[in-house]
Amino acid sequence: VLRVYRRHFAMPFDLAILPRADLDIEFSALLCIATRATRRITITSSSRWLKRLLAWQIRGPFSDVLFFPEAMHETPRRLRILEFLGHEATAQHLECWLGKEDIAYERRFFNEQPHSSSARRIAFGIGASSAKRIWPTKNFTTLIQMLRQHLDFVPVLIAGPTDQAAARQIAE
């Protein structure tokens, strides 16, 4: 561990950001401190007094603790951090890059479906970049069943190669 620390943190960093102080499940705060950055920023999105107090307790190792009381997606959260640092965000939307193959696949997929082209479709992204962030398949199944009680729609499962078993389980 000491060898890795010396190799990667021989020189201090200028900036280290801990995106969620109130959800530090991977001990990112320690890594943030280990950078010896001159400026260390952490964020909490909870306005509950207990979580604000906990965030205040960890303020010692951080130069700035930002409070974003409203829940928000990761992208606007990161844009707010950049704005805090003095940069201007030129767009507030998520980007999606589709290639010609993606568009052709989508057209083939929906043309081959037995449902009419005017049927409402609701997409469910069932994967995640980390196993800790994957929602259980039974929750997706329950959510789809609940929505079907109120809406007429076709569920579309968006899944990567590692999510195929979960997609089959939800589809059943």
Q: What is the pLDDT of residues 33-83, one digit of tens each?
A: 777 788 888 877 655 555 555 555 555 677 887 877 767 777 777 788 888
Radius of gyration of the chain (CA): 21
Q: How far apart are CA 135 and CA 36, in angstroms?
A: 35
Most confident of 2-11, 40-49, 101-110: 101-110
What is the number of other CB atoms lying within 10 angstroms of the CB of residue 151?
A: 9
Helical spans, DSSP H, in the chain: 2-8, 28-34, 49-57, 74-84, 100-112, 137-150, 164-171
- Is 135 a residue whose pLDDT tops 80? yes
50-64, 87-101, 129-143: the lowest-pLDDT one? 50-64
